[in-house]
């Protein structure tokens, strides 16, 4: 077997992750969140069936979207958080989010403020320590013509590789009637970043257009504005009746998007540094408010199923305070991580790599010293790259019940109109 022997120090490689090397095949990445939906119930320790602020749209607040042009929204239009086994079904191998045309009474969350106001009578104060300023939660029931299912992770993430496998069932052969938009996205907001969003995809099923976007309002860079980094394919780009994978790899320096394991694009805009920890959201929008497309109440087919095979989140393993030195090592004993510095081999050492894949990475340098050998059947990724703090955190109970972020609909609407 032919081998090569190196004595080289790598210090000045400009880090740029290979577009061909997916994190799913890179040993430096490890799973931090996995749901293969292989049971007959949704894991309530990992998912909630709603936004943090409850039901998104109803007869009272849908008017905030009329600048889209006022098409037929068929109001009242949507109720997102009905019970499991109706709109959210775990069948033992996949998760089905089902949209149904039906007359139903649904919970709508409102947030009268302050907690001491008469409007809060019977409500739940979101901050008992500050009742004179804090909002309360009031739940009222309103009639809806449709029901739907959605999921949002209880965990929130900063940086990592996020992948989903999905398809749609029940679509019309006449795609113009498919006024749905299956989505997979990250979103959050706080006092420092009023808008933080990565859309791994928003799909226009009517035209089979696949989009991905980044929306950030980070005042130190873009003031009061929401900056939009948007990407869209042409029509007929995706057959939603077939299985697809879609993913994003989010790092401090770049954000890469993928469809069916194919690299789509990279975003390196400065305001991306304002993105904060965000939960994942899976939902099928109808009407397509994100594309300013109304619902056809006569021809749009129901029920419609957004089927999810899995959701995987991976993050890079890092030991950024460790100057790691391997002397006697093989591919089976080498631990692919990002170290502060990494040395392999040295005088009197035997560092033999014969088969498989390893990733040698260091923030300061990677030294391949005497005694290092790699066989022709070995795939070895070698680079320097900056360390960064990836996070996975449980959202607090207070974060799981919050009012809709200020001006959510207005910002949402204005940012979407530029796409359409």
3-class DSSP assignment, residue 416? helix
Task: Give the pairing of strands 351-384 and 3-10.
Answer: antiparallel
Q: How far apart are CA 193 and CA 80, in angstroms?
A: 26
Query: Mind listing the domains of the chain with CATH numbers?
Result: 3-28+318-389 (no CATH), 31-101+149-316 (2.60.120.200)
How many Cα atoms are found within 13 Å in the side-chain-facing hemisphere of 395? Answer: 26
How confident is the model over 217-276, as pLDDT tens digits? 888 887 777 788 999 999 999 999 999 999 999 999 999 999 999 999 999 988 899 999
Confidence of residue 393 (pLDDT cuts 50, 70, 90): very high
Q: What is the mean pLDDT of residues 29-45?
A: 96
CA distance 265 to 263: 6
Task: Give the angle subtended at the CA of 376 by the CAs of 373 and 377, to the nearest 5°.
Answer: 110
Report whether 334 contacts 326 (CB < 8 A): yes
Nearby residues of 85 by Cβ (< 8 Å), 6 or more positions away: none
In this prediction, residue 4 has a pLDDT band, given cuts at 50, 70 and 90, of very low
> What residues form DSSP beta bridges with 205?
none
24-28, 47-51, 319-323, range with the lowest pLDDT: 47-51
Question: Which residues have CB under 8 Å from 157's CB, separation 6+?
Answer: 32, 33, 186, 277, 278, 279, 280, 313, 315, 390, 391, 392
Q: What is the DSSP string of 283-334?
A: EEESSBGGGTB---TTTS-SSEEEEEEEEEEEEE-EEEEEEEEESSEETTT-
0.75 cut: is pTM over it? yes
For the chain, the distance separating the N- and C-terminal CA atoms, rounded to the nearest angstrom, is 58
Which pLDDT band, with edges at 50, 70 and 90, does 1 fall under?
very low
């Amino acid at each position: 077997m032919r081998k090569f022997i190196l004595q080289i120090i790598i210090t000045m490689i400009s880090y740029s992750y290979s577009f061909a090397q997916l994190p799913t095949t890179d040993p430096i990445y490890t799973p931090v969140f996995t749901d293969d939906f292989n049971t007959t119930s949704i894991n309530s320790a990992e998912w909630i069936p709603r936004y943090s602020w409850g039901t998104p749209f109803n007869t009272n607040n849908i008017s905030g979207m009329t600048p889209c042009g006022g098409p037929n929204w068929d109001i009242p239009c949507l109720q997102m958080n009905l019970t499991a086994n109706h709109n959210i079904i775990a069948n033992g191998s996949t998760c089905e989010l089902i949209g149904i045309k039906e007359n139903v009474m649904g919970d709508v969350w409102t947030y009268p403020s302050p907690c001491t106001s008469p409007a809060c009578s019977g409500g739940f104060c979101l901050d008992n320590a500050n009742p004179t300023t804090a909002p309360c939660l009031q739940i009222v029931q309103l009639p809806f013509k449709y029901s739907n299912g959605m999921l949002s992770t209880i965990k929130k993430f900063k940086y990592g590789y996020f992948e989903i496998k999905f398809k749609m069932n029940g679509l019309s052969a006449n795609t113009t009637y498919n006024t749905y938009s299956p989505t997979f996205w990250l979103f959050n907001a706080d006092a420092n970043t009023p808008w933080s969003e990565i859309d791994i995809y928003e799909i226009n099923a009517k035209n089979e257009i696949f989009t991905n976007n980044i929306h950030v309002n980070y005042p130190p860079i873009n003031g009061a504005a929401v900056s939009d980094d948007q990407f869209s394919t042409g029509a007929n780009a995706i057959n939603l009746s077939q299985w697809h994978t879609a993913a994003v790899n989010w790092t401090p320096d770049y954000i890469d998007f993928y469809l069916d394991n194919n690299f789509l694009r990279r975003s390196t805009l400065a305001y991306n540094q304002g993105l904060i920890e965000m939960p994942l959201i899976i939902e099928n929008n109808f009407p397509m408010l994100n594309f300013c497309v109304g619902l056809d109440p006569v021809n749009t087919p129901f029920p419609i199923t957004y089927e999810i095979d899995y959701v995987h989140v991976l993050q890079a393993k890092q030991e950024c305070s460790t100057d790691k030195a391997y002397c006697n090592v093989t591919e089976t004993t080498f631990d692919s991580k990002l170290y502060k510095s990494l040395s392999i081999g040295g005088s009197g050492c035997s560092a033999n790599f014969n088969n498989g894949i390893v990733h040698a990475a260091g923030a300061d340098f990677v030294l391949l010293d005497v005694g290092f050998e790699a066989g022709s059947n070995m795939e070895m990724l070698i680079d320097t790259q900056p360390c960064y703090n990836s996070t996975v955190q449980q959202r607090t109970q207070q974060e799981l019940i919050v009012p809709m972020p200020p001006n959510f609909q207005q910002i949402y609407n204005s940012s979407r109109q530029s796409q359409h």
